[in-house]
Structures are given as C-alpha cells and as structure tokens.
Amino acid sequence: MMRQYELVERVARYNPHTDEHLLNRAYVYAMKAHGSQTRASGDPYFSHPLEVAAILTNLRLDDATIVAALLHDTIEDTDTTRDEIDRLFGPEIGALVEGLTKIKKLDLVSKRAAQAENLRKLLLAIADDVRVLLVKLADRLHNMRTLQYVPEDKRARIAEETLDIYAPLAGGMGMHWMREELEDLAFQVLQPDAYRVISTQLAERRDESAKVISEIALALREKIGAAGIQAEISGREKRPYSVWSKMERKAVSFEQLSDIYAFRVIVENVADCYRTLGIVHMTWSMVPGRFKDYISTPKQNDYRSLHTTVLGPGHQRVELQVRTREMHEIAEYGVAAHVIYKENVSDSVKSGNGVRKDRLASIDSNAYRWLKQLVDMLAEGDTPEEFLEHTKLQLYQDQVFCFTPKGRVISLPRGANAIDFAYAVHTDVGNNAIGCKINGRLEPLISQLSNGDEVEVLTAKNQVPPAAWESLVMTGKARQSIRRAARTQIRTQYAGLGRKMLERSFARISRTYSDEKLTAVLARLGQSNVEDALSAVGRGEIPASDVIKAVYPDHRDERARDKASTGGTTRNEEGWFGLRRAMGLKFRLPGRASRESKLAAEKSEAGPGAIPIRGLHGDLPVQFAPKGGAVPGDRIVGIMMPGEAITIYPIQSPELKQFDEHPERWLDVRWDIDPDDPERFPAVIAVRALNEPGSLAEIAQIIGEQDANIDTVTMTMRAPDFTEMEIALEVWDLKHLNRIMALLRSAAVVNAVWRVNG
C-alpha cells in the first residue's frame, strides 16, 4: 500500500502549490474511517481509495480531486456524513464526495426506463463538476483491475456496465488510455475465450514483427530527420478489444488487421505535423481514403492529430498518427489535461472556495461542452426513453442499442440487423430464428435496427440458418454461428445420404449394413469416425464399393468385371448402376446412355433402392435444377457434384445432356413426399399471350386462384401481336402444375403454354 508521504510526493511533483497538510489530513481521515474494513481481495479497504487517488495523480489532478478520491467511499460505507466532510475539508470537496456517493448505487444495466433514469442521474451528478466523473472513472478502473476477487456471478454485470457506460464516457472525455484499459478489462471478463485468442495472437505477432517495426521506425526516422524535424517515433501496441471490435464492426479477419503496423510521431509544432505528413506522402504511396486531418477539425473530445496510412518500406500498410506534444497530452488525458493547464495558468487559485467552480465552468474543452450539452438536454423534459436514445446516440457513435421484450439492452454495431440481434441474445435464438417483431410489428429479419428498437425474435425448433445469412450479418458472432450451423447440417446431410447408399449396396449383395461393420474398417478407409466415413461416401469421395471391398475382402463384384471391360469411370458406380437398373438399361455401356433411352425408360418406376427425396428441407443435401426444376410426379434423377448439393432434374430435362459423359455423377432418386407436411416446389412455364392490356393480370389471376405462388415473371419476347414470358412458379406437384397449364391454355388471351425444362 502506498505510504502517506509517497502520495504527497507524487502530487507535489506536478503541483508545486499543493496543500500538503490537506492531503495528509484526508489520508489519515479516510484510513481511520474505513478502519478494519477489508476488500474482497482481503486487502485493507483503504487500499482502494488510495489506489484511486494514485490513478488521479497520473492524470495530474488538483488537490480537491485527490482528496475527494481518498474520501469517495466514506459517506456510503462508513459513519461519515456530508456535514462532517464540509466541516473538515470544505464544501467543494463535500460536494464532490456527495456527488460520488449519489452515483455509487446507480444500476446502469437494468431495465430500459430505469436505466435511462439512472444514466440521467449519473450525467447530472458528473456535469455539476467534471471532477466527479474523473474520480468515478478512476474508481471504476481500480475496481476493474481487481475484479478477479469479486464473486464470479457479479463480474459480468460490472464488466458490462463498464463496457457500455464508463469506457465510452472515458472516450468521450478524451481519456484514451483509460478507455482502452477499461475496454480490455471488461472484454477479458465478458468474452474470455475471444480475449485469450486475440491476446495470444497479438503476443505472437509482437515477437514476429519486432524486426519489421524497427525497420519501419528507422526508415521514418531517417526521412523525417533529414528534413531537420525533431520527432519522437514510437510503434503503437494494438489492444485486444480494439482488434476484436474492428473484426466485428468491419467484418475483417485477424490477419487483415495484423498486417498493419501502427506508429505515432510526436513533433514540436503544428507546422512540423504537416511537414512530416508531406515527407511521408512523398516517400511512400498513401492508401486512398485513409488521410484524416483532425488538427483543422478536432474530434468532439478535443482529439487532434493527423492520420494517414501509407505503403511502407517493405510494402506493409503503415498507419501514422502525427501530433504535437500538447495534442498528445490531450489525447491521453482529455478533460483532465485541461484541468491542469488551467491550474498552471491561474496557479494562485487555492482550492476550497467558489472560485474553483468558475474556473472549471470556463474550461475551454469540447469534451466538457459535450457533457454540458447532454445535461442541457435533460432540462428539455424528454421522457427517459427519448433521453436514453439521444444520449446513447451521442455516447456511442458506432453502436445501436436495442432491447429485448424483457428490457435487456443489446448493443450492436451500427448497421446490424435483427439476425445479429438474435445471435447477440443467444446462439440458439439466432439458429432458430424464423422472423421478428420490431417495436411490435412483424418485420423481415434482415431489417437494419435503429437505436431504441425493441426486438422480439420469433423462433421455431430445429431450424437451420440459411447459408445466405452469412453475408447479411454485421457481427462476427452471428457470422461464425451461421457458418458452424451450416457445416454441421451439411455434414449430417451427407452422412445421411452415405448411409442410404451403403444400405442399398449391402442389400444388393444380400448383406445388411451396420455401423459396427463400418467401424471395423474405418482405418482402412482412412477415416476417423463413422460420421466422417458416411459423409465421405455421401459426398462421393469414397465409392460405396470400396466400403464393400473393405468389409468383405473376398466378395467378388461382378460389376467390377463389367467396369474393367468397358473402361468406364466408376467414381460412383453405385449411382450409375442403380439408375441403369432402375431404367432397365443393364447392358448399356456407361457414358453412352442417350437422352432418348432415358426417355424410353421414363415410364418405368424408380427402383426400390432409389434414394428418397423429400424436398428442399428434408434430411439430404438437395437442390433443384436452376432453370425449371422437377416437381413431385416428374421422373427425376440426381446429379452429384463434388462438394455441392445433389441437383434434382426432371429426367426429360435437356440440361442433363451435359452430364452424359459423366455417368459416375448420376444418382437414382425417387420422390418421398410426406402428405402431412406438403411443400411447394419450383417450376418454370412459358406462356405466349396476346399483347393487350390486362392479359398479364388475367394470367396472374388464374395462377393465383389455383393456389400457386408466382416467384418471377420474365418477358422473353415482345411483338406487336404477342408477348412471351417465363413464369417461375411454386406448385405442390405435377398434377397441380398441369391443371394450371390447362386453365391457362383455356384463357382467351393465352395462345400457348409450355413447360421450360420439364
């Protein structure tokens, strides 16, 4: 624990006018007041206010602030009263300590209305005197640094509040280092795995890139020094949380971020900032769109610097911040820097009277003005919700805050949609999301969310998120979960297909497939488990015949001779022979099956061993041919494309011709429609109609009355007398489709109707 004289020495080092007697009295008073109280860590309680005071000496704050820090927990946790503090230390310090006491119990991660009200109280208390906020932030920083001693169930809440409220406030006040430290400490608690991964990677990169960094620094030093500019050049460390939030916000990978080297150049005056920039831009090519001049246009929190990115000596991306010493101080200490600058200007002002307040009120700081603005808004009598919306809007420029129906706040990067929201609530909620209500109205899941939206996610069990979502979401968490769910589903689907294929192959040689048999030969197949092996068969990576050969090494496959004599490829002889037998084409050579012969076989039913197809949402990896798929009732074939879903074609589709030379891809499939759970299937028809007003409407009406969905209508020809169009439909089955086509033909405006690809 820091000794009394050490604290006084630290203050005296930057403030020659410090009132040592005042500091000493406060030290002794607080130590006695807290007495034998201990912290969760077992340390004497007094170590906490002392550490908070020490943090504030790093910010070089005035005596009143340091004393308030020492006393900040006395009213709340000991017998001390405001009156007593006023009497012993003066009303200025009394007001600071009371302000800190007021905000101590505010719960900032509670329900929406209560949260808004609490945030409002917090801002009111700190806007009275910005030093309240400075002590509060130092208090929170020390509590976060010692969070490991707090019971685990309380940590997340404190960390969440830190990340949501205090870190942005520190940033808003321009105290950059504090914001970063608060963020990293909270991140470590809230997402320990992500924190570990990123900091480990950063540490590895640090060693790797040390050489590159010193090379770049050397090159910079040479070029800038040659122009006679005095400059201090240092590499900047990347912080785990800022890396993580960039990965989330900008959807970039760690690799993309880690190839960027960041440097800070501190020069003597503003003119040198621009000269340095000129030299850098003349020496290396700049990356367009990355130059920012925060000197001519400072940020809201008084931050000033020049930012640019160039392709450095070894063509790495080099990020530069160029600033003067004074700008650097403000970037680090923010509002606190202003407090101390004023202190030096009017160093005769003693603490403990009203003069101090005027001085603080006149702080020429954008950050402080910003805080004042927030508070002025309170006076306008907004409802707490509106207030929260305004405030949060300003506090978190890059974030939107939304609410669950129970009032939990979900913070998301700007541009996030309801899918991101669902995954932020819980991975299962995201995976099972089927729709959402935003502020009570049904809206598409891809709707972008705005500040203050209340989002209710509608879920259904056993859903699989569509793969297309991956490109629609903003947050890394959502993207990762969607990818993982898709991978799992595809693997399961292929394993299911593989199992069916093996069951058939075993049946054909009058054996029964079992997982035990497959397990016994896993090593020979080079697979580590049954699921992987089945999935490999389903994907066509392992022919079913190889599994048979592995299980029954003595079994002689007569078809193997067939294959040898024709020399055909038999990557998936399984599918090919199944199909041929189903079509009565036993003796045709692979690769020679013509479309005519298939048509001839059209009437024959698929073999009993054909793979059953349920539809798009069944348990197999299936898709329908892009232009005019098959509908139940059509004779169908499946085409296997390695690594892709099986594509189902109607057997008469001219598109199939392209696969004539690849018999190994053909798969014998049959419909297996569940009458209790019917599904619509895509089909395309072409219609030639009279080119007159109302004909399209009539066609649409006929289709609509028949309970079919129209997906798209594409005009393919338009002549003065006739138009031709292709209509993509969703129908129940072939009968349904034929009925629609017949009704269309009977319409007066329709000249002809035919099916595309079917």
Active site residues: 76-77
Residue whose pair of structure tokens reads 């949402």 in the numeric block: 617
* Cβ at position 80, least distance to Mn ion in Å: 14
N-terminal to C-terminal alpha carbon distance within the chain: 84
**For Mn ion, the closer CB: 112 or 131:** 131
**For Mn ion, the closer CB: 52 or 402:** 52
Cα separations (Å) of 538 from 475, 523, 590? Answer: 33, 18, 21
Residue of 92, 139, 574, 634 that binds Mn ion (CB under 5 A): 139
Tell me, by CB under 5 A, how many residues bind Mn ion: 2
Q: Using the rule CB under 5 A, give the single segment among 134-142, 355-363, 429-437, 525-533 that binds Mn ion.
A: 134-142
**DSSP state letter for 454:** B
Dist CA 183 CA 531 (whole Å): 42
**For Mn ion, the closer CB: 135 or 438:** 135
Contact 141, 55 (CB under 8 A): yes
Dist CA 118 CA 106 (whole Å): 6
Which residue is closest to Mn ion by CB? 139
In sequence order, the 6+-apart residues with CB closer than 8 A to the CB of 3 are: none
Q: Using the rule CB under 5 A, give the single segment among 117-125, 132-140, 537-545, 577-585 that binds Mn ion.
A: 132-140
Q: What is the footprint of Mn ion within residues 64-83 (CB under 5 A)?
A: 73
**For Mn ion, the closer CB: 26 or 648:** 26
**For Mn ion, the closer CB: 137 or 295:** 137
Cα separations (Å) of 231 from 213, 319, 386? Answer: 17, 16, 48
* Cβ at position 135, least distance to Mn ion in Å: 9
Residue whose pair of structure tokens reads 């308030």 in the numeric block: 68
Q: Using the rule CB under 5 A, give the single segment among 131-139, 229-237, 548-556, 688-696 that binds Mn ion.
A: 131-139
Contact 750, 696 (CB under 8 A): no
Q: What is the footprint of Mn ion within residues 438-497 (CB under 5 A)?
A: none
Dist CA 547 CA 543 (whole Å): 7
**For Mn ion, the closer CB: 70 or 310:** 70
Cα separations (Å) of 305 from 122, 162, 285, 327, 333? Answer: 31, 27, 20, 7, 15
- Site for Mn ion contains 573 (CB under 5 A): no
**For Mn ion, the closer CB: 76 or 259:** 76
**For Mn ion, the closer CB: 19 or 139:** 139
* Cβ at position 49, least distance to Mn ion in Å: 7
Burial of 312 from C-beta contacts in 10 A (0-12 / 13-18 / 19+) = buried
**DSSP state letter for 692:** S
Contact 161, 95 (CB under 8 A): no
* Cβ at position 76, least distance to Mn ion in Å: 8
**For Mn ion, the closer CB: 70 or 703:** 70
In sequence order, the 6+-apart residues with CB closer than 8 A to the CB of 223 are: 279, 280, 283
* Cβ at position 77, least distance to Mn ion in Å: 8
Residue whose pair of structure tokens reads 């007398």 in the numeric block: 721
In sequence order, the 6+-apart residues with CB closer than 8 A to the CB of 558 are: none
* Cβ at position 144, least distance to Mn ion in Å: 11
In sequence order, the 6+-apart residues with CB closer than 8 A to the CB of 494 are: 534, 535, 536, 538, 539, 621
* Cβ at position 50, least distance to Mn ion in Å: 11
Angle between helices 130-145 and 366-379 (to 10 degrees): 100
Cα separations (Å) of 463 from 490, 492, 493, 738, 748? Answer: 13, 14, 14, 32, 45
> Residue 437: how many CA atoms within 13 Å on its side-chain side?
8
Q: Using the rule CB under 5 A, give the single segment among 84-92, 135-143, 575-583, 594-602 that binds Mn ion.
A: 135-143
* Cβ at position 150, least distance to Mn ion in Å: 12
Query: Residue 465 carries which side chain, given as an amino acid letter?
Result: P
Contact 677, 614 (CB under 8 A): no
* Cβ at position 140, least distance to Mn ion in Å: 8
Q: What is the footprint of Mn ion within residues 722-741 (CB under 5 A)?
A: none
Cα separations (Å) of 442 from 437, 445, 457? Answer: 4, 9, 10
**For Mn ion, the closer CB: 104 or 414:** 104
* Cβ at position 329, least distance to Mn ion in Å: 27
The backbone torsions φ and ψ at residue 739, rounded to the nearest 5 degrees and listed phi first, read -65, -45
Q: Which residues are near Mn ion by CB under 5 A?
A: 73, 139
